């Protein structure tokens, strides 16, 4: 890859912590709230309808049953969290990137997280996924004539819907980075590339109500005015 890989540096911000990622977190909270409500209704049915009470099973047994049910409920909540792909986007940008609300004063940087947990600068040019024939899973490669390998990205196949959303979002971050670091020509070319990605970030089962809107058009307009 040609770039040092390691821990995420302090000046970088994970995608999940950015302002534009808040809608995904709010949707997760809505789904989690519905789950908690339904689980509470189930508990009420078990304790009232079935007849679980302190009088017929004892205080200690009631306590153990309650602890067990809370444990089961926590597992369910954690499963929902794991199945929320937009909370785990392996993407980070620095303070100068257009994804941030503040106007950058230096070069914008985009980093991605690899399957081994390390982070690395994604480098120049768009990226794509292909099958890793050596270790299996998905390999991140350069989306140009060289198809140069960047690093092992995930144990999931390259056709997995979540990985497709990740790659589309990473490519959008790269396009905006190039627009921020370059001139008018880079802005227009990045704008054209993003318009071609009309299927940006298909909906997941936690995101059925609204499509994801990062609004790159508004960001490009800001660059053209400066």
Q: What is the pLDDT of residues 112-137, one digit of tens each?
A: 999 999 999 998 899 999 999 999 99
pTM for the full predicted model = 0.71
Helix, strand, or coil (residue 35): helix
Instruction: Look at residues 224, 214, 192, 184 and name the one whose alpha carbon lies nearest to residue 18.
Output: 214
How distant, in Å, are the alpha carbons of 45, 52, 185, 226 from that of 173? 48, 54, 17, 20
Burial 125-134 (b: 16+ CB within 10 A, else e): ebbbbeebee
Instruction: For the chain, give the percent of residues with pLDDT over 70.
Output: 69
Domain ranges of the chain: 23-82, 89-225
How distant, in Å, are the alpha carbons of 13, 37, 194, 223 from that of 184? 26, 52, 15, 8
* Residues with Cβ within 8 Å of residue 199, at least 6 apart in sequence: 168
- pLDDT greater than 80 at residue 165: yes
Q: Which of 85-89, 100-104, 201-205, 217-221 has the highest mean pLDDT?
A: 85-89
Segment 211-219 long-range contacts (CB within 8 Å, at least 24 positions apart) = 212/23, 212/24, 212/86, 214/20, 214/99, 214/169, 214/172, 216/172, 216/175, 216/176, 216/191, 217/191, 219/98, 219/176, 219/179
CB contact at 8 A, 81 and 69: no
How many CB atoms are located within 10 Å of the residue 195 CB?
10
- pLDDT greater than 50 at residue 209: no
CB contact at 8 A, 23 and 64: no
Helix, strand, or coil (residue 110): strand
Name the band, by pLDDT with cuts 50, 70 and 90, for residue 202.
Answer: very low
What pLDDT is attached to residue 52? 54
What pLDDT is attached to residue 142? 94
The residue among 7 and 174 whose pLDDT is bigger is: 174
How many CB atoms are located within 10 Å of the residue 6 CB?
9
Name the band, by pLDDT with cuts 50, 70 and 90, for residue 211.
Answer: very low
Name the band, by pLDDT with cuts 50, 70 and 90, for residue 169.
Answer: very high
């Amino acid at each position: 890859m040609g770039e040092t890989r390691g821990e995420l540096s302090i000046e970088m911000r994970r995608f999940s912590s950015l302002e534009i990622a808040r809608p995904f977190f709010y949707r997760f909270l809505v789904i989690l709230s519905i789950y908690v409500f339904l689980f509470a209704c189930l508990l009420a049915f078990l304790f009232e309808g079935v007849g679980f009470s302190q009088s017929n099973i004892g205080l200690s047994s009631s306590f153990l049953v309650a602890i067990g049910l809370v444990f089961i409920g926590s597992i369910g909540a954690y499963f929902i969290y794991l199945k929320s792909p937009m909370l785990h986007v392996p993407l980070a940008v620095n303070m100068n990137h257009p994804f941030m609300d503040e106007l950058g004063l230096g070069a914008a940087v985009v980093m991605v997280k690899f399957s081994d947990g390390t982070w690395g600068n994604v480098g120049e040019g768009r990226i794509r996924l292909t099958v890793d024939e050596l270790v299996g899973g998905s390999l991140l490669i350069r989306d140009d004539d060289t198809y140069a390998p960047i690093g092992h990205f995930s144990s999931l196949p390259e056709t997995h819907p979540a990985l497709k959303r990740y790659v589309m979002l990473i490519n959008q971050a790269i396009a905006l980075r190039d627009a921020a670091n370059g001139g008018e020509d880079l802005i227009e070319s990045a704008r054209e590339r993003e318009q071609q990605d009309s299927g940006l970030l298909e909906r997941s089962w936690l995101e059925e109500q609204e499509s994801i809107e990062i609004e790159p058009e508004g960001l490009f307009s800001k660059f053209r005015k400066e």
